[in-house]
Amino acid sequence: MPYQSSDKTRQKKDTKRTAMMQASVRVFAEKGYHAATIRDIVQEADVAVGTFYFYFPDKETLFVHLYEETALFLLQAIQQGIQSRATIPHQITGGLQAYINIAVYEPAIVQLLLVGGVGTVPSLAVKRATFRENLIMSWQRPLDTALDNAHILPQNTRRTAEALAGAFDEVVLNLLNAPDPESEAEAAVQDLIDFSLRAVAYTGL
For residue 145, being part of any structural domain is answered with: yes
- Residue 94, domain member (yes or no): yes
> Which of 38, 117, 88 shows the shortest CA–CA distance to 193?
88
pTM as predicted: 0.85
Note whether 1 and 88 are same-domain residues. Answer: no
End of a domain among 24, 56, 88? 56
Q: Supply the range of the domain harboring residue 140.
A: 59-199
Per-10-residue mean pLDDT of the chain, 205 residues long, equals 52 78 88 89 91 91 90 96 95 97 92 77 85 97 96 97 97 94 95 97 89
pLDDT at site 41: 93
Q: Is 1 in the same domain as 14?
A: yes
Number of domains in the chain: 2
Name the domain boundary from 35, 56, 77.
56
What is the dihedral sign for C-alpha 145, 171, 84, 65? positive
Give first-to-last CA distance, the chain, whole Å: 66
Nearest to 98 by CA among 176, 189, 187: 189
Residues 103 and 183 in one domain: yes
Rounded Cα distance, 171 and 180, in Å: 14
